Structure 1
C-alpha cells in the first residue's frame, strides 16, 4: 500500500491542505455582497443584480457566455466600485481572509493601479490602500486561526502606455508588500515587446516580473515573453501544449520552445477553470495540465478570477482530483512548485515549504493512513 497510489483526498482534506496561489486578480475576486455594498455607498447604479446570490450567478454566466464584451463588462462593474481608499482596503482585506479560509498559506495577488484612479486617488495611494488591506486581512485571518501571507503584483495594461511608470511604482514599493510586476490585457495586437522599457528597467533593478502569455495568442506570445522580455514566470502559459505532440503509440515529442520551458524550469501559472472559459480546453479531463504534470513541467494551479469563474483553490484541486485521480502527493507537488516559483526571497520560500507546506501535507497523509488502517481492521473483524 503506497500513499502515492491510495491517498486520494476528500473535499474536506483539500480545503485544509496548505495551498499556494500565484495568479489571482484582485478585481476578479470580490464578494458579491461587497460589490453591492460598495455600489450603494458610491452611488453606482449600473449593477445587473442587487441580490448577492443573483449577482454572483450573473458574473459566472457572463464569464461563461462566450461574449468578450460581456466578459469585459464584469470587470467594469468590479473596478467601478474600487475607486476609494476604503473600498480598496476592504476588498484587499476580504481577499486575504477568503483565501486563508480556503487553506491558502501564501498568495500573490495582482491588480492594475491605473484602473483605480477615477475617484481621485494617486497611484501611490492606491498601492498604499491595497497593501494596508492585505495586512489587515492577514491579521483577521490569524485571529480566526488561519495563516496566510499575501504579496502584491502591480499590473500594467497591454493597451496602455504606462508600463514603465507602473514598473517604477512596483520597484518603489518592493519592501512594503509589492513582490513583482505583471502585464495583462488582450494578447493579440498588444505584444509584450511594446513594453520593453519596463522590462529592461526591472531587470536592471533586479526585480521580478511575470507576463500574461500563452493564454489565447499561442506560442509567439510565450516566445516573446521569455526571449525578448525575460519573464520569470508565464501567466497562464497553457498554450505551450501547442509545441508538444503525442503520437498514436503514446510517444511524446517536445518542440524546442516547450523543451526550453521545461529545461529552464519556467513556472506556468495554469488556471484550469478560467482556461475552460476562454476555450483553452474543452473539459478538465482534457486540460493540458494533466500532460504537463506527467512531463514534469513547473506547473502550478491557480484561480485567475474567483468571482467570474465561481471558483476557489480548493475547487480547482477538486476538479483536478476528479479528472486525473490526483492524490495528496500530487497536491503537494503543485504546491511546492508554486512556492518555489514565488517572488519572495529564497530563504523565506524554503521556510514556507519546510515549516508549513510539508508538515501540513504530512499531517493529512497520516490522518488518511490512520483511517485506512482503521477501516481495514474493522473489515477484518467483521469477516472474522
Structure 2
C-alpha cells in the first residue's frame, strides 16, 4: 500500500532525537542573525536551507559543523532561545508529532552571559508556549528536554547535575554529544555515576562516527537508548545474510530491546549509512532490534518526520513498519510508565491497527 503525503502527515509520530540547534527555521535564523550582525552565506530562506543541506551532503565534516556555528550564534539570549524552542514545537506539531524529546547542550548557549539554569528556563518557557499555541491551532503535542554534555568539553558532571535538578519541571533525560570517535562515554564516569545514583534516564550518541564498540561503551555506562546506533551491525557476523551471528554487544541491545535512535537522512550525511535504501536500520528492524525513526537536525539535513517516513516508504516500509517503529519510540521515551502507556495508546488509535 502506497501512502500519500497527506496520509503520512496524518500519522502520529514520536520523536526521540532532535537537536534544537539543528532545527531552526531558516527565516528565523536570518532574522536573528541580522539583529546581532552575524553574517550568513545567504539571506534568502530557501537558498540558505539549500546551502546547509548541500553542506550536510558534502561528506566534509568541517563544512557540516560550520552550520552549527551559525545556529548557535543566534542562540545566546533568553528571548531567542524561547522563540526557537516555541517554533520547534509548533513545527513538529504541524508535522504530526505528538511527543518530542528536544535535546540541546546548555553549555553552548552561555556566550551571551546566560547561566546554565537560565538557558534551561528560557528553552522550557518556549516549549510551554509552543505546546499551548499548538493546542490553539488544533494540534496536541507534548515535549520534554534532553540535556547534552559536549564530549570535547569538560562540563559533563555539571550538566548531569543540571538535568537532575530540573527533572520534575522539564528534563526527561541526559545525553552526551559531539565528537564520538576518541571521546568514549567512559571518560565521563563521575557524571554517569551521579546519574545512576539519581535513577535518571540516559541516552548516548554512539555507533554513528565510531563502531559497535562505542555502543558497547554506551551500554556499559547505563544508556537506556542509543543515539543513532546504526553501526551496531558491525558486531553482527554475516549481517544481511540468512544466518547472522550476533556478538555480545548486538545481543545485549537486541535482548534488552535498547531503542536505536536512527535518523535515516542524517545517518547518510554523516556516512553512518551508505544510502537510505541501504541503511542498516532495515535489516536491524528485521532482526528484531528496537529501531525508531528520528530527524536529528531538521534544518541542517533538510528533513521532517514526514519526509523521513516518506523516504522509508520509498525504501519499502509499510504503514505497519512505521507503526511498529513509532510504538517502539513511544515505549522507549523517557516518560514515566503510565504516561508511556497513554502515549502508546494514542499511537495505536492513530494508526488504527488491531494488535
Gaps of 5+ in 1: 1-6, 367-384
Give the deviation of 1:150 after TM superposition: 0.5
Q: Superposition pairs for residues 57-206 of structure 1, below 5 Å? A: 57-206=50-199
Residue 279 (1) aligns with residue 271 (2): yes
Query: Structure 1 residues 244 and 34 mapped into 2: Cα distance closer, same or farther (>3 Å)?
Result: same
Q: Superposition pairs for residues 256-295 of structure 1, below 5 Å? A: 256-295=248-287
Deviation per residue, 1:350-373 (Å, 9 max, x gap)? 01111x2111111xx69xxxxxxx
Of residues 19, 23, 30, the one that matches 2:17 is 23
Q: Superposition pairs for residues 341-352 of structure 1, below 5 Å? A: 341-352=332-343
Deviation per residue, 1:6-27 (Å, 9 max, x gap)? x442221111100000001000
2:318 match: 327
Count of aligned residue pairs for this structure pair: 354
Give the deviation of 1:280 after TM superposition: 1.6
Does the Cα contact within 8 Å between 2:81 and 2:126 map onto a contact in 1? yes
Name the CA distance, whole Å, in 1 between partners of 2:101 and 2:143: 6
User: Runs in 1 of length 4+ with deviation above 4 angstroms?
Assistant: none
Give the deviation of 1:284 after TM superposition: 1.1
2:200 match: 207
Deviation per residue, 1:1-48 (Å, 9 max, x gap)? xxxxxx44222111110000000100000000000111112222x211
Name the CA distance, whole Å, in 1 between partners of 2:4 and 2:60: 35
Name the CA distance, whole Å, in 2 between partners of 1:247 and 1:189: 26
1:239 match: 231
SS in 2 for 1:335: helix
Query: Structure 1 residues 249 and 272 mapped into 2: Cα distance closer, same or farther (>3 Å)?
Result: closer
Q: CA RMSD in A?
A: 1.3
Give the deviation of 1:339 after TM superposition: 0.6
Query: Structure 1 residues 42 and 293 mapped into 2: Cα distance closer, same or farther (>3 Å)?
Result: same
Deviation per residue, 1:44-83 (Å, 9 max, x gap)? 2x21111111111111111111211111110000000000
SS in 1 for 2:183: coil
Of residues 331, 337, 349, the one that matches 2:328 is 337
Name the CA distance, whole Å, in 2 between partners of 1:237 and 1:287: 12
SS in 2 for 1:82: coil
Give the deviation of 1:247 after TM superposition: 7.3
Does the Cα contact within 8 Å between 2:240 and 2:283 map onto a contact in 1? no
Residue 302 (1) aligns with residue 294 (2): yes
Name the CA distance, whole Å, in 1 between partners of 2:127 and 2:239: 48
1:373 match: none
Gaps of 5+ in 2: none
SS in 2 for 1:337: helix
Name the CA distance, whole Å, in 2 between partners of 1:236 and 1:151: 19
Give the deviation of 1:298 after TM superposition: 0.7
SS in 1 for 2:277: coil
Name the CA distance, whole Å, in 2 between partners of 1:348 and 1:341: 11
Name the CA distance, whole Å, in 1 between partners of 2:130 and 2:263: 24
Please give the TM-score of this superposition, normalised by the length of structure 1.
0.90
Residue 316 (1) aligns with residue 300 (2): no
